[in-house]
């Protein structure tokens, strides 16, 4: 009986901890989309998309130290610290006829892969979502020395994608 009571208390603490963590999240919006981020994550200035006109980068968030850089790659146009992470949301003007990436559920099931993005040596993953006749791509980039908590925050941030009100 003592073990059951102890297990119930432990489970309750986990639920309370998760609720407190969820309350600590804040919403970052831009260009019609939003992400929920941990308190220490920041909005990152978008890199120049030129010459690409479709898709466009809509919103970028990351840990401290993430910043735009000049590359020929649209998604990986950001310096991500070795212990940091970034989420880059791009969107098309309309709906793509064919998607080469799995939907948002892939962000629950797949592992980060090294070499996923051109111009980025760290680990990454991406997923495409279709909402209101538009296709959006959620891109997660994580540095090689990022701890499990940072990886979890990055994945949760990408999964939180929504259209802004």
Detail the DSSP E strand segments found in the chain.
26-30, 33-37, 42-43, 56-62, 67-68, 78-79, 85-91, 113-114, 123-131, 134-142, 162-163
pLDDT value at residue 20: 38
Is residue 63 within 8 Å of 85, Cβ to Cβ? yes
Residue among 38, 153, 164, 158 at smallest CA distance from 106: 158
Q: In this model, does residue 67 exceed pLDDT 50?
A: yes
Q: In this model, does residue 9 exceed pLDDT 50?
A: no
- Count of CB atoms situated within 10 Å of the CB of 4: 8
pLDDT, tens digit, 9 for 90 and up, residues 20-48: 366 789 999 999 999 999 999 999 999 99
Q: What is the pTM for the complete model shown?
A: 0.83
Distance CA 70, CA 45 (A): 13
């Amino acid at each position: 009986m003592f073990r059951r009571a102890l297990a119930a208390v432990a489970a309750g603490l986990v639920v309370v901890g998760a609720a407190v963590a969820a309350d600590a999240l804040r919403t970052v919006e831009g260009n019609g989309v939003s992400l929920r981020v941990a308190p220490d994550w920041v909005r990152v200035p978008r890199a120049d998309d030129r010459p690409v006109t479709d898709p466009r980068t809509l919103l970028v968030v990351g840990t401290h130290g993430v910043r735009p850089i000049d590359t020929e790659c649209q998604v990986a146009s950001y310096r991500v610290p070795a212990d940091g992470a970034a989420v880059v949301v791009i969107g098309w003007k309309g709906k793509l006829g064919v998607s080469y990436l799995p939907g948002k559920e892939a962000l629950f099931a797949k592992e980060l892969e090294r070499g996923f993005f051109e111009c980025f040596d760290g680990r990454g993953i991406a997923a495409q979502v279709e909402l209101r006749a538009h296709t959006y791509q959620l891109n997660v980039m994580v540095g090689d020395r990022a701890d499990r908590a940072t990886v979890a925050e990055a994945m949760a941030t990408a999964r939180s994608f929504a259209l802004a009100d």
